[in-house]
């Protein structure tokens, strides 16, 4: 099956340097794959796509309406494997990072010691798109700000893990993470033979528990999931999670605030709501306190939160900590708040706001990846080695005009995993998004969503840019 497969010069997660040196942990899987053969793999791959379509695991690209194209997230059947030993370290590292970030958020919206002690300049905080001065003085239940986060991890050319991004607002993808495993079990049960893959099905239970714990004022909280509606690209996930947790999926106009409580409009009148898992961005959450033109949110919700009569996860304002520039300060936060060294390293990051970094970046653009700190989804970035001179010059001007808006990182050779491209196996770049839940306890999903750049040679794994996903297995050695 792998006879035509040629690993690239970077870190291939299946093979060490050539086809004769498969990594030990891959042995059972490679033998099942060889028994199956490429033809059957391709056949079952189409069956998997049909199953995903039937389940409705589809997303709509931005800016498409009722008749817009709905498509499944491309699914690749070759699982990505992570050893339990690696995983234990990653889990620790993720918990550590989130602990520091939560302390940072509490600090920055209250006493601001980290600014006063000169660790992070005030200007960088207050100029961030994620900064929400409305949250100053706010104390969320359990002192937790990020109940649900999904961090992006990558492995560099040597196989070392790094944090690439912190997604702390409404990270998406978890439904695909769960759905991928379901598809693998349905369509490719043979590939599981000979080993135990750490199960992931408890995610909805832990999520529900995390949300319930936020309602410190009652033992029988009413919990709802707030979605922007069916035109949102992650709508499938919203409905999927609501269904799995048995909670109601609501839209802004289903809710109403009155006398500092928030209610659901039902066929039998108004019913009080305790916890809202919101999948609506900060800006649109509450037209009274945030963007006035939003019709997706609930007027007065922030006041209900301040009165302590409802909890919202994640708390508005967490976006300050996943600003791509503030990201570069997370190792300092870990040191400052926990007095520890970061277990998972950041990717080396140049901050164009600082003159010295900016000079370096402007001189070395062809070697670097430049990202706009305010954009997500793989938009607004420059991949130096793959860009033309005019694209580089254009970006150079953008950086000079608004240095606060840009950071740069060395172009990393992301690790690769064999994947089906046009019916053949090809080494495709991957990243990993594990999900971290924090209520009274912390819980990290075993593995996470592996996103894969299915276009040959592409480094961009975002679904909006032609990326796909694979199942991720955490297995014993």
* Residue 298: closest CA among 288, 306, 311, 308: 288
Of residues 294 through 313, those in contact with another protein by CB under 8 A are: 299
What does the block give as tokens for 274? 């305790």
49 lies in the site for another protein, by CB under 8 A: no
How many chain residues bind another protein (CB under 8 A)? Answer: 32
Choice from 225, 344, 369, 432 touching another protein (CB under 8 A): 225
Query: Given CA atoms 375, 378, 383, 389 in this order, what sign does their dihedral have?
Result: negative
> Nearest 5°: phi and psi at 63?
65, 20
Candidates 270, 343, 347, 421; binder of another protein (CB under 8 A) is: 270
Closest distance to another protein from the beta carbon of 422 (Å): 20
Structure tokens at 456: 């040959």
For the chain, the distance separating the N- and C-terminal CA atoms, rounded to the nearest angstrom, is 24
54 part of the interface to another protein, by CB under 8 A: yes
**Shortest CB 309 distance to another protein, Å:** 16
C-alpha distances (whole Å) from 401 to each of 69, 131, 394 are 37, 21, 11
Least distance from another protein to the Cβ atom of residue 79, Å: 24
* Least distance from another protein to the Cβ atom of residue 321, Å: 30
- Per the CB < 8 A criterion, the answer to whether 114 and 124 are in contact is no
CB 62 within 8 A of CB 233: yes
When binding is defined by CB under 8 A, the residue of 127, 248, 411, 462 that contacts another protein is 248
* Rounded Cα gap, residues 40 and 47, in angstroms: 11
Contact window for another protein (CB under 8 A) among 202-210, 260-268, 408-416, 464-472: 260-268
> Could you tell me what percentage of the chain is helix, strand and coil, using 3-state DSSP and rounding each to the nearest 5?
35, 25, 40
Stretch of 123-131, 251-259, 370-378, 398-406 contacting another protein, by CB under 8 A: 251-259
Q: Does the protein bind another protein through residue 189 (CB under 8 A)? A: no
Instruction: Find the binder of another protein among 10, 127, 134, 239 (CB under 8 A).
Output: 239
- Residue 345: phi and psi, rounded to 5, are -80, 155
Q: Pick from 266, 340, 359, 377: which binds another protein (CB under 8 A)?
A: 266
User: Binding of another protein at residue 68 (CB under 8 A)?
Assistant: no
**Alpha-carbon Rg for the chain in angstroms:** 23
Site for another protein contains 264 (CB under 8 A): yes
Asked if 190 contacts 32 with a C-beta cutoff of 8 angstroms, the reply is yes
Q: How far is the CB of 53 from another protein (least distance, A)?
A: 6
Per-residue buried b or exposed e for 204-243, using 16+ beta carbons within 10 Å of the residue's own CB: bebbbbbbbbbbeeeeebbbbbbbbeeebbbbbbbbbbbe
What mask of x and - would describe binding to another protein in positions 121 to 160, judged by CB under 8 A? ----------------------------------------
Please tell me whether residue 64 binds another protein under the rule CB under 8 A: no
Residues that bind another protein (CB under 8 A): 53-56, 66, 225, 229-230, 235, 239-240, 242-243, 247-251, 253-254, 256, 258, 263-271, 299
């Amino acid at each position: 099956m792998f006879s035509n497969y040629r690993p690239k010069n970077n870190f291939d997660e299946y093979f060490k340097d050539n086809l004769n040196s498969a990594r030990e942990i891959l042995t059972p899987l490679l033998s099942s794959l060889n028994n199956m053969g490429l033809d059957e793999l391709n056949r079952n791959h189409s069956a998997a796509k049909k199953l995903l379509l039937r389940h409705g695991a589809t997303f709509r690209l931005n800016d498409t309406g009722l008749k817009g194209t709905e498509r499944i997230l491309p699914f690749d059947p070759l699982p990505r494997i992570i050893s339990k030993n690696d995983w234990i370290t990653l889990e620790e590292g993720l918990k550590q990072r989130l602990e520091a970030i939560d302390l940072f958020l509490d600090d920055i919206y209250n006493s601001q010691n980290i600014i006063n002690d000169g660790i992070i300049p005030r200007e960088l905080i207050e100029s961030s798109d994620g900064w929400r001065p409305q949250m100053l003085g706010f104390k969320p239940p359990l002192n937790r700000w990020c109940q649900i986060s999904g961090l992006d991890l990558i492995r560099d050319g040597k196989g070392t893990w790094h944090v690439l991004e912190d997604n702390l607002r409404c990270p998406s993808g978890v439904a695909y993470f769960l759905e991928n495993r379901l598809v693998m079990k349905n369509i490719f049960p043979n590939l599981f033979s000979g080993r135990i893959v750490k199960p992931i099905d408890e995610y909805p239970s832990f999520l529900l528990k995390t949300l319930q714990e936020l309602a410190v004022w009652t033992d029988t909280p009413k919990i709802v999931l707030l979605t922007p509606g069916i035109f949102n690209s992650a709508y499938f996930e919203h409905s999927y999670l609501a269904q799995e947790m048995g909670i109601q999926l609501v839209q802004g106009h289903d809710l109403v605030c009155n006398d500092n409580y928030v209610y659901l409009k039902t066929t039998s009148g108004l019913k009080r709501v305790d916890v809202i898992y919101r999948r609506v961005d900060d800006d649109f959450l509450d037209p009274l306190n945030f963007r006035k033109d939003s019709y997706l949110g609930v007027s007065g919700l922030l006041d209900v939160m301040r009165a302590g009569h409802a909890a919202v996860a994640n708390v508005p304002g967490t976006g300050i900590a996943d600003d791509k520039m503030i990201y570069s300060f997370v190792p300092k936060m870990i040191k400052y708040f926990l007095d520890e060294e970061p277990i998972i390293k950041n990717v080396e990051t140049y901050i164009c706001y600082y003159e010295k970094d900016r000079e370096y970046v402007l001189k070395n653009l062809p070697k670097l990846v430049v990202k706009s700190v305010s954009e997500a989804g793989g938009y607004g970035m420059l991949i130096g080695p793959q860009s033309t001179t005019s694209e580089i010059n254009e970006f150079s001007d953008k950086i000079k005009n608004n240095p606060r808006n840009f950071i740069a990182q060395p172009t990393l050779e992301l690790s690769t995993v064999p994947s089906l491209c046009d019916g053949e196996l090809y080494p495709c770049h991957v990243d990993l998004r594990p999900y971290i839940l924090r209520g009274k306890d912390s819980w990290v999903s075993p593995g996470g969503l592996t996103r894969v750049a299915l276009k040959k040679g592409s480094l961009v794994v975002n679904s909006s840019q032609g990326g796909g996903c694979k199942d991720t297995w955490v297995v014993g050695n």
